[in-house]
Amino acid sequence: MQVFPVAEKRFFLRLANGEEVKGTLCRFADEHGIGAGVLRGLGAADSAELDFYHLTEQRHEAVMVEEPTEIAALLGNLGRDESGQAVAHIHATLGRRDGSTVGGHVDRLVVGATLEIDLEVLPGSLNRKLDLTVGLRLQDSYEP
């Protein structure tokens, strides 16, 4: 990953072919002491595992994308879980060769040619906690 600091609390990140997005972003957050941030990006993916959550059944359904795609939109945030571990909550819209798209919550996303991310670091920490009523780790608090 290449890192381009563009302002005091803003980075442009360029991930390379083969890098896994969520793990790379969580390591970056840990290395830079980031407790909260927002991100957006575009690029290419080699493969992905997206997730659709069935709220009434509180279960995840994997959506496997085993083909190269264009990352038409990548949106998300960085925060911390109950144990202080970095969490990257990301959604993506992926464009297929025929022009169709698939999208959802990103469980795993492997970069194709490149992925360009605009990361804005926020002060403090965005904290996530398991909400038993929906079965997900939701934003629970923000500590400036």
- Report residue 22's pLDDT band, with 50, 70 and 90 as the boundaries: very high
pLDDT score at 78: 98
Average pLDDT score over residue span 117-134: 96
> Can you give the pTM of this predicted structure?
0.94
pLDDT tens-digit readout, 109-125: 999 999 999 999 999 99
pLDDT tens-digit readout, 65-80: 999 999 999 999 999 9
Average pLDDT score over residue span 74-103: 97
- Report residue 82's pLDDT band, with 50, 70 and 90 as the boundaries: very high
pLDDT score at 36: 98
Cβ density class 19-48: b for 16+ within 10 Å, e for less:
bebbebbbebbeeeebbbbebebbbbbbbb
